[in-house]
Structure 1
Amino acid sequence: MERKSETATVIPIAPVQAPAPDPVERFESLTEELLAEPSRTPEILATAAVRTFGPRASAWAARTRAAYPTASAEALARLAVHRFTRTAEIRAVVGALTGPYTPIAVTGGVLVSHAELVLHLAAAFGVDPEDPGRAEDLLKLASPGPGPVVTWLAVGLINRRLPGVSVLSAVLGARSTTEAVAVRARRFYRKNS
């Protein structure tokens, strides 16, 4: 009696992905990390920004490329710059209305817009915005420098005599710093893509 060899069919099983962390858990983890190593605050926040905004940037680039299949990387970059310049301006206006917390609110809002812009520009130029290495890019490209703080000190003095100057200066400052970040990021990703 001849024995037939039996072969088993292997069915690949997709790896089980862990559910996305609850935003409260992620916040507690980030807070714990910041408290444990306050000297690493910029690196920790940049890494958190990549984890949070990187997937959004990837999804945006995929949707935009699907909608405009003939669009160049430069065209996608222009869309991202326009979008996040507007976002920074809106966040600056809202921040300017927070009273004594205005410098913190405006600077925080603008920094978030800069992080989103840099990651969206990376995606526009075909660089993976979810790669943890983008945190280094954020530290190099998304910093507005000391300009906003100095501006707010001056505006605080002027705003006492001319109410409303803070809102106008917030919008203009957000626009100029976001455009400066856009120029640096486009140049960087154009060269490194």
Structure 2
Amino acid sequence: MTQVTPAQVATEPASTESAAGAQHPADQPETEVTRPALRVVKAHPAPRRVDSIGEQLLAEPSRTPEILAQALVQALGPRAQTWTDHARSTYPTASRDALARLAVQRFTRSAGLRGGAGALAGPYAPVALGAATVITHAELVLHLAAIHGLDPTAPERAADLLRLVSPGVGPVLGWAALSLATPGVRLLTAFLSARTTTEMVAVRARRFYAESQVSQESGRS
């Protein structure tokens, strides 16, 4: 007679249940496996970003005036709007013409100072005078646009700059004609020339924006 040890008694039920619970893989119920849907994304080439004015000029050299005008609008437009808002809050009863005269006086004086400083630039005077003239005229035009109720940061202002801003040829030619004069004469001439050209730009810009506003008002009526 075979004796059953306690260890066998303890392990036999477990082995029986294991054998009873084991099923053939074919007998197990199939379970539906949810798989994430695969989304096919068509690859498109990333648009080329132009991060600097230099890259734009190299990419499209034929559009140099437009690119520079747009850069001036982006850089100077917000300051023109800030100045106009501040002037209107400081002088709430001032008319549009009064604010325009205030802006013209400001930039005429600034043009004279910049022109005088450019005349002291030595051999780089033509470049300095041209750059100072263009920047001053662009600031003036954008300020006058804001005074007339236009957005000085709008892309359309670039076309205004191309139409109204002097390219700075006058100061450069004036410097070339007086390149052999004394430093005092050069300084005085640059000062007066910068003021004169700025006043001319102011006259053109004020007339242009006044006529534009009149045409807009007549179109609304």
Q: Which one of 169, 180, 192 corresponds to residue 189 of structure 2?
A: 169
Equivalent position of 1:101 in the other structure: 124
What letter corresponds to residue 174 of structure 1 in structure 2?
A: A
Runs of at least 5 residues in structure 2 that lack an aligned partner in the other structure: 1-49, 214-221
Assess if the C-alpha contact under 8 Å between 1:43 and 1:135 holds in 2: yes
Distance in 2 (alpha carbons) for counterparts of 1:34 and 1:192: 31
The residue number in structure 1 matching 2:203 is: 183
Partner of 1:131: 154
Distance 1:113 1:91 in 2: 8
Letter paired with 1:56: R
Check if 1:77 corresponds to 2:100.
Answer: yes
Instruction: Kindly state the Cα deviation for residue 90 of structure 1 after the two structures are TM-superposed.
Output: 1.1
Q: How far apart, CA to CA, are the structure 1 residues paired with 2:127 and 2:204?
A: 24
Alignment gaps of 5+ in structure 1: 1-25
- Deviations along 1:31-83, one digit per CA (max 9) or x if unpaired, are 11122222211111100111111111111111111111111110110111011
Q: Which has the higher contact order (CA 8 A, sep 6+)?
A: 1
Q: What do you get for the CA RMSD once the two structures are aligned?
A: 1.5
Letter in 2 for 1:185: A
User: TM-score, normalized by length of structure 1?
Assistant: 0.81
Q: State the distance in 2 between where 1:107 and 1:146 align.
A: 7
**Bigger Cα Rg:** 2
Question: Contact (CA 8 Å) 1:42, 1:139: kept in 2 or not?
Answer: yes
Of 143-152 and 65-74, the range deviating more from structure 2: 143-152
Q: Is the 8 A contact 2:116 2:190 kept in 1?
A: yes
Letter in 2 for 1:124: I
User: Does 1:110 find its partner at 2:130?
Assistant: no
- Which residue is equivalent to 1:149? 172
Q: Contact conserved, 1:96 with 1:106, CA < 8 A, in 2?
A: yes
Name the aligned partner's letter for residue 201 of structure 2. V
Give the aligned residue type for 2:139. Answer: E
What is the percentage of aligned positions where both structures have the same residue?
Answer: 60
8 Å CA contact 1:144, 1:177 repeated in 2: no
